[in-house]
Structure 1
């Protein structure tokens, strides 16, 4: 539980029955995401005390009224929620739901009949991404839940709900690289490495990974990158110019949430190149843009959750993992619930790519 910004503790809480359209899930594991770190640091607003976490995996214990997609005993993964009825949701783009922000990041949009979580009799905030998975249970929206096969390894698959979904989907659905494209991924964390995996399946002309940690760059190479750049020891702009013969990068994906990196990617983009940015920096963070520099047709574009429908992409990702094409185990390290603080610290310092909290 997050008692206050920077104060992550293990605490006893009570879960009510799920309300209409909700399910009670007993968690097996939950991934730890950079968005969680942003909330812990106070850069993303979320009421405290409260439960965060949004890459859960577990077993349905109870279902609320009106739930038809799952039943008690089903294995599920948890992802983001959406309204299901706005123009974006009905056109298979639920990541751009009209009420995405209050339903997910802020975690405040829920009905009066929703299930509650309390500590010592007092309600606490939950419903982060429609679920809040850093607990032994979660009261989740039905639209946050994706049913998986009974034999699926929930601990391995837990990170699919956000980090892997975002990285893979952003590359697969939005940038959509072809065999002639030069692709660059800025940041070799879980999102960036998932994007590298997706891009490598498309076999672009070049696939360049950029990071500050040699070990992560070595992993990027193992996962399909054709070249790597360490921004600490190399001049990124010069290396990109060298690798591309001065033509620049056609498709760039900045996963860092750092406005300086996004500007660097724009400067290095080719004529009519696209720079896609994701992440959750503090509100008000701005990217400096030289208008003259983008008049060659360069595009700066944002993306949320890889522009995916979890109910569609997550089963595809599970199939890729089963076929050995999505080696999640290479990204993950497991921690117990009482090690969640250590997991956050390891992730922040680049020791671990994707921590998985095992309950």
Structure 2
């Protein structure tokens, strides 16, 4: 059995998103959940799939991985989710490997297969065109749809009084940026941090650094509007790297030492290398952008002799069902005002919203897919 839905399809490399009538399997398998999507954030990783910088992808497909919605059906073995639950969607993991069992599901041995293969765990597709031809998924989620099939572990259940239009981006961009601080780098109170790129991920890292009590939170960008928002969110210093040498400025701000921690969200080779130079001795850099660019350095002179570190942190090393709820708690306490960064679009504005994300004019575009949704109902 299947039902007709609407999905934003990428037909081939660099093709625009196109809304199409698709069919989704209407009978969830044992560990699956059918979710009605209310809204979905647009993340740079969606664009990275569309333009190929995220690596190989099996087009045609539907991306989107910051979905929020309402559960319609659950599979026979699902125990943590029920029909009618309000949920946020994040990444999938197997839950059984040694990394998952020790609290690091983003390091799951099967992470790549589960999230990037474009099919369900059993190899079948969730979506087809009316002629039966396959449409591949993404993050085992594909939230650029009116309904989608996900695995139980993709889901975090939230209170029904929370506005589903706002919270989808907590499933990727915001949990990635904040988790890189909370879990990956874990700065002590009074340490210093530079955040390069103040989009959604960088802004989330900024808010987390403020919560952690960093004494210097230095934000670097080329957009004055984003830097103004960074100040509002808690940046102690901002640098427009179009106007001055940001590494020199970082050293000036830190009395010549450099920062204890740096996060790069640009994925640009030269800037990632500059971030290493901006570190103090013993400092840590987390380059977390989805990029095809490379980072080159001299291991002895630039890393070993100064005891610097380059840390890989995927999805903020967060357990979604814990990390997402933590961010909601901080948000409700006024400490993580992520919704200041959002701008709503309708589903048919998907290409406009994606362009706004890419050109930096909007920090976090969110598509409200169900225009009839009323918060709290």
Q: Moved runs in structure 1, 4+ residues, more than 6 A?
A: none
In the aligned structure 2, how far is the partner of 1:190 from the partner of 1:136? 24
Specify which of 6, 10, 14 is matched with residue 2 of structure 1. Answer: 10
Find out whether 1:86 has 2:64 as its counterpart: no
In the aligned structure 1, how far is the partner of 2:105 from the partner of 2:235? 30
In the aligned structure 2, how far is the partner of 1:142 from the partner of 1:247? 47
In the aligned structure 2, how far is the partner of 1:121 from the partner of 1:90? 42
In the aligned structure 2, how far is the partner of 1:2 from the partner of 1:260? 31
Query: 1:64 — aligned with what?
Result: 75
Query: 2:118 — aligned with what?
Result: 107
Find out whether 1:77 has 2:85 as its counterpart: no
Secondary structure of residue in 1 paired with 2:328? helix
Q: Where does the alignment leave 5 or more consecutive residues of structure 2 unmatched?
A: 1-8, 370-377
Query: 1:142 — aligned with what?
Result: 152
Query: 2:196 — aligned with what?
Result: 186
Query: 2:351 — aligned with what?
Result: 341
Name the stretch that deviates more: 332-341 or 319-328: 319-328
In the aligned structure 2, how far is the partner of 1:330 from the partner of 1:79? 21
In the aligned structure 2, how far is the partner of 1:24 from the partner of 1:67? 11
Name the stretch that deviates more: 330-339 or 100-109: 100-109
Specify which of 217, 226, 234 is matched with residue 216 of structure 1. Answer: 226
Name the stretch that deviates more: 255-264 or 183-192: 255-264
> Is the 1:48–1:124 contact (alpha carbons within 8 Å) kept by the matching residues of 2?
no
Name the stretch that deviates more: 83-92 or 256-265: 256-265
Find out whether 1:128 has 2:138 as its counterpart: yes
Query: 1:14 — aligned with what?
Result: 23
> Is the 1:18–1:115 contact (alpha carbons within 8 Å) kept by the matching residues of 2?
no
Query: 2:365 — aligned with what?
Result: 355
Secondary structure of residue in 2 paired with 1:10? strand
> Is the 1:115–1:139 contact (alpha carbons within 8 Å) kept by the matching residues of 2?
no
TM-score of the two chains, using structure 2 as the length reference: 0.92
> Is the 2:342–2:364 contact (alpha carbons within 8 Å) kept by the matching residues of 1?
yes
Query: 2:333 — aligned with what?
Result: 323
Secondary structure of residue in 2 paired with 1:129? coil
Specify which of 265, 269, 272 is matched with residue 279 of structure 2. Answer: 269
Q: CA deviation at 1:136?
A: 0.2
TM-score of the two chains, using structure 1 as the length reference: 0.96
Number of residue equivalences: 356
Query: 1:281 — aligned with what?
Result: 291
> Is the 2:119–2:140 contact (alpha carbons within 8 Å) kept by the matching residues of 1?
no
RMSD of aligned Cα (Å): 1.3
